Amino acid sequence: MTVDPSSLWFTRFKPGPQASSRLFCFPYAGGGADIFRRWALNLSPAIEVCAVQLPGRGRRINEPPCTRLLTMVDEIDIPIRAYLDKPFFFFGHSMGAIIAFELARRLHREVGFGPSRLLVSGCRAPQLPNTDPKRHQLPYREFLEELEHLNGTPKEVLAHPEMVQYLLPTLRADFEAIEKYVYSPAPPLTCPISAFGGTDDPEVKAEQLEAWRDQTTSGFTLRMFSGNHFFIHDAEELLLRVVGLVLANTDLGPAR
């Protein structure tokens, strides 16, 4: 594994200087760059996986987590520009999908280009109303019950109060960031969008994923996988095969 010395934001588990493109991966609430470790090992060597490491986790555990999603976009915007010398893609799951979407819009607006394709997973389209309860404000015990319901935090972690206390500030901050996010209408992206979802996801339904179609003037695809909100782990092998095919069949456009 190589930690890029020029930025704490990106982890490249398998550096690929000869790769023809890069895939930036944005984690879900509470997640870190490590959730994409196997992606780097299983996708084509032509694609260099750059996992985004947000503050408050992993090697950045001592940094305060951010409670505003658009502030995260502000902070990623400058360091990522050093890595846009090759065609690139964005993948984000749940909270990470909105970060990737807003960053793609920012790049299109400010530098005139963005990802060759945006891949969004386990996340309703941003223009849809957020009807989720304000989980970040829940008392300790109820918050833990919500984490257990979502099935994204390992049960062995939830069983150890000291571990939960260690992770709690980051989890609450991430939930606050996504729950307070406000979508602002803007012209749709010009790159294609691929959306992925879990058939048994209690949080995000197929029709809410389908609504991502309105965020692009280009192509759109939707693929559902067996599993709940965290199908990206349970169906990881199949998901990676599908992602690999989608990227291989995406027009990278002219070199920049």
Question: What's at 228, amino acid-wise?
Answer: N
The catalytic residues are: 94
- As a residue count, the chain comes to 256
CA distance 240 to 15: 18
Output the six-digit token pair for 48.
């260099």
| Cα–Cα distance, 67 to 47 (Å, whole number) | 31
In angstroms, the Cα distances linking 214 to 51, 190, 198, 221 are: 27, 11, 20, 12
Angle at 91 between CA 85 and CA 92, to 5 degrees: 130
Rounded Cα distance, 28 and 97, in Å: 8
Q: Is 101 helix (H, G, I), strand (E, B) or coil?
A: helix
